[in-house]
Amino acid sequence: MNMHPDNPPTVEELQTALSLLPHGPEFRFIDKLLEMNPGQSGVGTYRLDESAEFLKGHFPGSPLMPGVLIAEAAAQLVGVVGQSDPKHKPLKSVRLTAVRGMKWKGAALPGETIVLESREVTRFGNFIQAKVTAKAHDNVIMQGEITLSGEPAD
């Protein structure tokens, strides 16, 4: 699977990629994959629905997407890219292991689409590591590094 903006993945291809993650549909923060070079890089989006349950308490009267969920969305993209690497079997029970140098520089508001980028994905042993960026309204709102880990495949 090598996807580019001129040939975006189908809904079925996105579901196949997301199936490599342990999350249920209720906790997925990637709606679309715009680009993916398996095992190396990817670009995805998440539209922040105004009716998202977590917005009711974060913050009443002035809702915005929690920074930790933006980091989770980026980690899910890292997982999709790393777990799709044709040179490696997908890891079992992949989990977020480390967040380094993460900086939040803005916010995502209800109705906005967050553009997530995972680049320089490295796989070593049971670890997947990448640099990530999130943008909303064309501004960088988060950037840093994420590491995932899991158990070796049989």
pLDDT for 73 equals 97
C-alpha 131/C-alpha 146 separation (Å) is 6
Which letter does DSSP use for residue 19 in this model?
T
C-alpha 46/C-alpha 134 separation (Å) is 10
* Residue 125 neighbours by CB under 8 Å, 6+ apart: none
Catalytic residues: 58
pLDDT for 5 equals 54
Q: Is the pTM of this model over 0.85?
A: yes
Would you call 121 helix, strand, or coil by DSSP? strand
pLDDT for 4 equals 53
Taking the chain (154 residues) in runs of 10, the rounded mean pLDDT of each run is 60 77 89 90 95 93 96 96 91 95 97 97 94 97 98 83
Phi, psi of 86 (to 5 degrees): -70, -15
pLDDT for 8 equals 66
Q: In what order do the strands lie in the sheet with 113-124?
A: 32-37, 41-47, 113-124, 127-136, 139-151, 92-104
- Tokens encoding 9: 């993945």
Residue 65's nearest CA partner among 152, 141, 149, 153 is: 141
- Tokens encoding 49: 């629905």
C-alpha 132/C-alpha 30 separation (Å) is 14
11-151, CATH topology level: Thiol Ester Dehydrase; Chain A (3.10.129)
